[in-house]
């Protein structure tokens, strides 16, 4: 029992009788997720959600859990007490997914599974100038990682770590490309071009570290990469007295890359293949930035009804991709 408590690692104030009673059932989900092939970052998120739900509700009672998720309030990071700030709908949906796994494992029937609407925010990637400032301010390995993020749009978990991170064999100096291992169940991507300068830096790094083909390029995990980046970014913002720099998250470098290649190719299907997205929906939020000269709005669909709507809205049909997506464009 106590080994399970250490594995879940709850805050001391969470050790209520109800929570302690539910620990074995919660911990069993970890092993279940491992058997299902879930990646460690995903397992960590789901276990955190179940731990929090276990302090708020009887996990055998689906109505009680639904109420706990719907009324979820954030904890104060210092006092660990519940605050008056509601949790985001994105986090509530993560709790729903985690509890679904709990129900599957423990054979609990959960009817009317809730889904919380997440507002899609318009993407505003950092400027090329801001990316250059961040890159110039980073040192050694952090500089390499940031440069890879900017030039390839890879997620942090696809750059660092032993599960999906880059390995020495993924760097092709002669071709000036990187071939990543896709994360989040995404489609495989073609080799991603990088600059000659970055290619030389990576090759020098591999030789200096004496890395073999299957060796991990960077030893730390995505969380450590994020922490290093934020520390550097915040110091830079204070030094330049520019608070806007603190708003640039590590994932925004991926947004910068996607927006750049979308403007270059003017074709979301090509961009989907290059970024590894399974469907075009994930790219819809970038379309308002698709055109660099302000002449066209582009959209693709494989739905006939949507195609008719686009035609009525003065979109021009261009072509259909091999997998059945119709490309439309409309002057701005």
pLDDT tens sequence across 272-302: 878 877 777 777 767 666 554 556 677 888 8
The pTM assigned to this predicted structure is: 0.67
Residue pLDDT, tens place only, 49-59: 999 999 889 99
pLDDT value of position 292: 47
Last residue of a domain, one of 247, 282, 304: 247
If one counts the domains in the chain, the total is 3
Residue pLDDT, tens place only, 170-179: 999 999 999 9
Calculate what percentage of the chain has a pLDDT beyond 90: 48
CATH classification at residue 200: 1.10.443.10
Residue pLDDT, tens place only, 163-197: 789 999 999 999 999 998 766 556 677 899 999 99
Last residue of a domain, one of 37, 71, 106: 106
Last residue of a domain, one of 217, 247, 277: 247
- In a domain? residue 112: no
pLDDT value of position 296: 66
Does residue 132 sit in the same domain as residue 214? yes
pLDDT value of position 289: 62
Query: Average of pLDDT values for 125-139?
Result: 93
- In a domain? residue 83: yes
Does residue 225 sit in the same domain as residue 139? yes
Residue 2: which pLDDT band, with cuts at 50, 70 and 90? Answer: very low
pLDDT value of position 206: 96
Expressed as residue numbers, the domain containing 310 is: 267-331
Does residue 228 sit in the same domain as residue 147? yes
Does residue 95 sit in the same domain as residue 13? yes
Residue pLDDT, tens place only, 52-98: 999 889 999 999 999 999 988 876 656 666 667 888 898 999 999 99
Question: Three-state SS string across the chain, please?
Answer: CHHHHHHHCCCHHHCCHHHHHHHHHHHHHHHHHHHCCCCHHHHHHHHHHHHHHHHHCCCCCHHHHHHHHHCCEEECCCCCCEEEEECCHHHHHHHHHHHHHHHHHHCCCCCCCCCCCCCCCCCCCCCHHHHHHHHHHCCHHHHHHHHHHHHHCCCHHHHCCCCCCCEHHHEECCCCEECCCCCCCCCCCCCEECCHHHHHHHHHHHHHHCCCCCCECCCCCHHHHHHHHHHHHHHHHHHHCCHHHHHCCCCHHHHHHHHHHHHHHCCHHHHHHHHCCCCHHHHHHHHHHCCCCCCEEEEEECCHHHHHHHHHCCCEEEEECCCCCEEEEEEC
């Amino acid at each position: 029992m106590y080994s399970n408590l250490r594995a879940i690692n709850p805050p001391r104030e969470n050790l209520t009788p109800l929570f302690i009673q539910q620990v074995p059932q919660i911990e069993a989900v970890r092993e279940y997720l491992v058997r299902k092939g879930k990646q460690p970052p995903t397992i960590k998120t789901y276990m955190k959600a179940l731990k929090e739900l276990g302090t708020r509700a009887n996990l055998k009672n689906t109505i009680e859990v639904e109420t706990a998720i719907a009324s979820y309030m954030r904890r104060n990071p210092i006092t660990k007490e519940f605050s008056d700030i509601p949790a985001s709908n994105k986090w509530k949906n993560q709790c729903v997914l985690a509890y679904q796994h709990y129900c599957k494992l423990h054979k609990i029937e959960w009817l009317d599974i809730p889904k919380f609407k997440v507002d899609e925010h318009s993407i505003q990637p950092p400027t090329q100038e801001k990316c250059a400032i961040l890159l110039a301010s980073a040192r050694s390995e952090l500089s390499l990682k940031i440069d890879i993020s900017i030039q390839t749009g890879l997620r942090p978990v696809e750059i660092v770590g032993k599960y999906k991170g880059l390995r020495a064999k993924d760097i092709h100096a002669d071709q000036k490309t990187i071939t990543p291992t896709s994360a989040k169940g995404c489609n495989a991507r073609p080799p991603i071009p990088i600059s000659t300068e970055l290619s030389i830096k990576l090759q020098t790094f591999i030789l200096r570290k004496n890395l073999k083909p299957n060796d991990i390029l960077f030893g730390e995990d995505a969380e450590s990469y994020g922490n290093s980046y934020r520390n550097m970014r915040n110091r830079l913002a204070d030094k330049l007295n520019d608070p806007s720099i603190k708003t640039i998250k590590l994932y925004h470098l991926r947004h910068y890359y996607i927006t750049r290649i979308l403007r270059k190719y003017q074709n979301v299907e090509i961009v989907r293949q290059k970024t590894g997205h399974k469907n075009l929906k994930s790219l819809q939020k970038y379309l308002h930035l698709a055109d660099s000269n302000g002449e066209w709005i582009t959209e693709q669909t494989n739905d006939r009804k949507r195609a008719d709507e686009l035609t009525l809205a003065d979109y021009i049909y261009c072509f259909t991709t091999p997998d059945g997506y119709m490309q439309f464009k409309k002057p701005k």
